[in-house]
Amino acid sequence: MLAEGGHKGTFFLVGENVERYPAIFDRIREEGHSWGNHTMRHESGWTTGHFAYLKSYLECERITGSGLFRPPYGRIRRSQARAIGARSEIVMWDLLTGDFDPRRKAEDCLEATLRHLKPGSIAVLHDSDKAAARTMDLLSGLLHHMEENDWKGSALTMRSEPN
């Protein structure tokens, strides 16, 4: 869908998934998308010890070599952020689409997202199995909106979660 409209995405990748599905990582790079580190196993910085979290970050960074990092769940301790921020740019978001919530419909996610979407927004979508039922329709609607509003050169950010 991204390629059809000439759009690019930024994919924040869980290292285990890169190892499990290397062809997808290859495709992300070949199609000119950006990618980032999302830890090796999608750990929360709030519940994972400092050194275990940094080790997970470093393992994923070794695989992705991205220089971009998004903490899973947006949860990161200051000490972790200082250590990771010395090596990578930490990228957060201003718009969570809710596509990860199985109680929501794609139309509801799209409607809520469009109410808050503006040029420069960083909107998070998920490409996990649990979100797939909503993500594809949500992505289609977002791309249509971007094209209708002539938002050329816009990018979307996606997070690759464990299945």
In the chain, what's the furthest Cα-to-Cα distance?
A: 46
- The beta-carbon contacts of 46-53 under 8 Å, at least 24 apart in sequence, are 46/73, 46/75, 46/76, 46/77, 47/75, 50/77, 50/79, 50/80, 53/77, 53/80
Class of domain 12-160: alpha beta
Beta strands 89-90; 34-37: pairing state:
unpaired
pLDDT at 163: 44
Sheet of 95-96: strands edge to edge? 89-90, 68-69, 34-37, 8-13, 155-160, 123-126, 95-96
pLDDT at 5: 80
pLDDT at 1: 87
Taking only the tens of pLDDT, the chain with its 163 residues reads 888 888 889 999 999 999 999 999 999 999 999 999 999 999 999 999 999 999 999 999 999 999 999 999 999 999 999 999 999 999 999 999 999 999 999 999 999 999 999 888 899 999 888 899 899 999 999 999 988 888 765 555 555 554 4
Say which amino acid occupies 47.
Answer: T
pLDDT at 2: 87
| pTM > 0.85: yes or no | yes
Residue with token string 């990018």: 155
pLDDT at 156: 57
pLDDT at 48: 96
Q: How far does Cα 86 stand from its chain's mean position? A: 21
Residues 6+ apart with CB under 8 A from 115: none
The residue ranges of every structural domain in the chain are 12-160
pLDDT at 155: 55
pLDDT at 4: 85
